[in-house]
C-alpha cells in the first residue's frame, strides 16, 4: 500500500512504497540523495549509486525507513527498487525546486503548467481550497443551500456594459457577471438562504495588479433581513470562521509566507463608516479634498481602521444611488449597500435589494433600463418576494491579501486578463 511523505516519520525499520516527483538530486561521492515530492511534502531517498532518472521524473519507490538527523522530518528511505512512471522529455522552462524571486510574473504565468509544481506556488491554491471549504461549512451550518447557476445569460443584471458576448446557436448571449438573478430567484422560491461558488466575468479593460476578467465569486443571498447591517454581521462571522480555520489547517503555509490572519473576535470589531464619513476621514488624513474613494483611498481607510480598531478592514456603507446597481435598495439619495475593504483592497460588495415589484419598476428608468430589457428578472418580484440581500467575495483578492501577494493574478490558477487566454 502506498504511503505519503508525511506518513514516514516513526516508521523506522519498516518497508514502504512511495510515489512522487524528483524534486532535487545530490550526488555525494558514491551516495546519491534524492528528494521526492508528493502532495503531502518531501522525503529523502538514498541510493548507493547514481540513478539514471532526472529532476521531475515521476517515480514509484520501495525501500526501508531509517532515522537520519539531516533528512527532512528526521527519516530517510534507502531505496531498494525504483520504477520510473514518467520521464521528462524536455528541459524545465523555470525552476521548480527553488524560489522564483528572479523570475518575472509573466514568465511564471506563461509556463503555468510547470510553475504550479513549485511547492510555494502550489500552496497558494491549497490555502484557497481551505478557504472554499470553510466558506461552505460556515454557510451550511447556518441553513444555507448551495446552488449552481448558468453562466450563459440573455441580459445583464449589473447593467448592459462589461459583458462578454457569446454566439449561442446563432443567438447572442453573454457570460454572467454574477449569479445575481438566480440567487434572488432561489431566495424567492422559498429556499430563503442560498450561496454559490462560481466563475464571474467582467469585460472591463483594466490592466492592473487588482483586476481579472474571470474570477471566482463567493456569492451569498439571504431572505428576511431588516437592513444591510444583517449582511455585514453575517460576513464578519463567516470571514472570522474562515480565518480561524485557515490558521488551524494552513498554519505552516501562513508562516512560510510571513502572513497572519485576523482573529475571529478581532474581525468582529471591523468598523462601519458611511461613504461620506469615509471621504471625510480621507480628507482629514491626507489634507486633500476627496470626490470619490480611489484605490489609494481604500488603502488609507484600512490604515485608519488599523489605527482605530486594530483590524485591517473597514465596511464602507451608504453608497450614493448612482454608484450602485439598479436593484440596490435606496434610502433617500443613498443606498443600503456596502463594500468591505481588507488590507487596502475591496474584496466584497453587497447590500439589501429592492424586493417590491412596483418599487423596482419605478427604479428602472433612473438607470436607463426597461422591464422588457431585463428579460425574466422582474418576474422574481411579480409574484411576491421577501425582503432580502446578499454579498459577493472575490476569492482571488481575498487570497492575495491573506498571503500578501503582489498581484491578484498570482492567486488565480489560470488567470484571464485583457491579454492572457492561455494556458
Domains, the chain: 5-86 (2.40.50.140), 113-411 (3.30.930.10)
Give the pLDDT score at 334: 97
Long-range contacts of 353-358 (CB under 8 A, 24+ apart): 353/184, 353/327, 353/328, 353/329, 353/388, 353/389, 353/390, 354/327, 354/328, 354/329, 354/330, 354/381, 355/329, 355/381, 355/385, 355/386, 355/387, 355/388, 356/381, 356/385, 357/381, 357/382, 357/385
Alpha helices in 224-348 (DSSP H): 228-249, 251-256, 264-267, 275-286, 295-309
Do 351 and 329 contact (CB within 8 A), yes or no?
A: yes
Binding-site residues for L-aspartate sit at 158, 202, 349, 353
Q: What is the pLDDT of residue 159?
A: 53
* CA–CA distance, 267 with 301 (Å, rounded to integer): 16
- pLDDT at residue number 375: 86
Task: Return the pLDDT at 158.
Answer: 56
CB distance 105 to 407 below 8 Å: yes
Binding residues: 158, 202-204, 210-212, 346, 349, 353, 394-397
Which residues does the annotation place in the binding site for ATP?
202-204, 210-212, 346, 394-397
Per-residue pLDDT of the chain (423 residues), as tens digits, is 899 999 999 999 999 999 999 999 999 888 999 999 999 999 999 999 999 999 999 999 999 999 999 898 899 999 999 999 999 999 999 999 999 988 999 999 999 999 999 999 999 999 999 999 999 999 999 999 999 999 999 866 555 558 999 999 999 999 999 999 999 999 999 999 999 999 999 998 888 899 999 999 999 999 999 999 999 999 999 999 999 999 999 999 999 999 999 999 999 999 999 999 999 999 999 999 899 999 999 999 999 999 999 999 999 999 999 999 999 999 999 999 999 999 999 999 999 999 999 999 999 999 999 999 888 999 999 999 999 999 999 999 999 999 999 999 999 999 999 989 999
pTM: 0.94
Instruction: Collect contacts of 85-94 with beta carbons under 8 A, ≥24 apart.
Output: 85/19, 85/58, 85/59, 85/60, 86/57, 86/58, 87/53, 87/54, 87/57, 87/58, 88/54, 88/55, 88/56, 88/57, 92/55, 92/56
Amino acid at each position: 500500500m502506498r504511503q505519503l511523505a508525511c506518513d514516514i516519520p516513526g516508521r523506522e525499520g519498516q518497508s514502504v512504497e512511495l510515489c512522487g516527483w524528483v524534486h532535487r538530486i545530490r550526488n555525494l561521492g558514491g551516495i546519491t540523495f534524492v528528494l521526492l515530492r508528493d502532495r503531502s511534502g518531501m522525503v529523502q531517498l538514498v541510493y548507493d549509486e547514481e540513478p539514471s532518472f532526472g529532476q521531475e521524473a515521476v517515480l514509484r519507490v520501495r525501500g526501508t525507513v531509517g532515522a537520519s538527523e539531516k533528512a527532512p522530518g528526521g527519516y530517510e528511505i534507502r531505496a531498494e527498487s525504483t520504477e520510473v512512471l514518467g520521464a521528462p522529455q524536455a528541459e524545465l522552462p523555470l525552476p521548480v525546486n527553488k524560489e522564483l524571486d528572479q523570475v518575472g510574473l509573466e514568465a511564471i504565468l506563461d509556463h503555468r503548467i510547470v510553475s504550479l509544481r513549485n511547492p510555494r506556488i502550489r500552496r497558494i491554491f491549497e490555502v484557497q481550497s481551505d478557504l472554499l471549504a470553510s466558506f461552505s461549512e460556515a454557510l451550511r451550518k447556518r441553513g444555507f443551500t448551495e446552488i449552481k447557476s448558468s453562466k450563459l445569460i440573455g441580459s445583464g443584471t449589473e447593467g448592459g456594459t462589461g459583458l462578454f458576448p457569446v454566439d449561442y446557436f446563432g443567438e447572442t448571449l453573454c457570460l454572467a457577471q454574477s449569479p445575481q438573478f438566480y440567487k434572488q430567484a432561489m431566495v424567492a422560491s422559498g429556499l430563503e438562504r442560498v450561496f454559490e461558488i462560481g466563475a464571474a466575468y467582467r469585460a472591463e479593460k483594466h490592466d492592473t495588479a487588482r483586476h481579472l476578467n474571470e474570477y471566482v465569486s463567493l456569492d451569498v443571498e439571504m431572505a428576511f433581513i431588516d437592513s444591510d447591517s444583517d449582511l455585514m454581521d453575517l460576513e464578519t462571522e463567516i470571514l472570522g470562521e474562515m480565518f480561524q480555520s485557515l490558521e488551524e489547517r494552513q498554519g505552516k503555509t501562513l508562516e512560510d509566507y510571513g502572513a497572519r490572519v485576523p482573529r475571529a473576535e478581532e474581525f468582529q470589531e471591523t468598523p462601519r463608516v458611511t461613504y461620506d464619513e469615509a471621504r471625510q476621514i480621507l480628507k482629514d488624513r491626507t489634507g486633500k479634498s476627496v470626490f470619490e474613494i480611489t484605490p489609494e483611498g481604500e488603502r488609507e481607510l484600512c490604515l485608519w481602521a488599523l489605527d482605530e480598531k486594530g483590524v485591517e478592514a473597514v465596511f464602507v456603507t451608504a453608497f450614493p444611488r448612482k454608484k450602485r446597481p439598479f436593484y440596490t435598495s435606496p434610502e433617500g439619495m443613498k443606498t443600503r449597500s456596502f463594500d468591505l475593504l481588507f488590507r487596502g483592497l475591496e474584496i466584497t460588495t453587497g447590500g439589501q435589494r429592492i424586493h417590491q415589484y412596483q418599487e423596482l419598476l419605478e427604479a428602472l428608468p433612473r438607470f436607463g433600463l426597461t422591464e422588457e430589457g431585463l428579460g425574466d428578472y422582474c418576474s422574481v418580484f411579480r409574484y411576491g418576494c421577501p425582503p432580502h440581500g446578499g454579498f459577493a467575495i472575490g476569492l482571488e483578492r481575498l487570497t492575495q491579501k491573506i498571503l500578501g501577494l503582489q498581484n491578484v493574478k498570482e492567486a488565480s490558477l489560470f488567470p484571464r486578463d485583457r491579454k492572457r487566454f492561455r494556458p
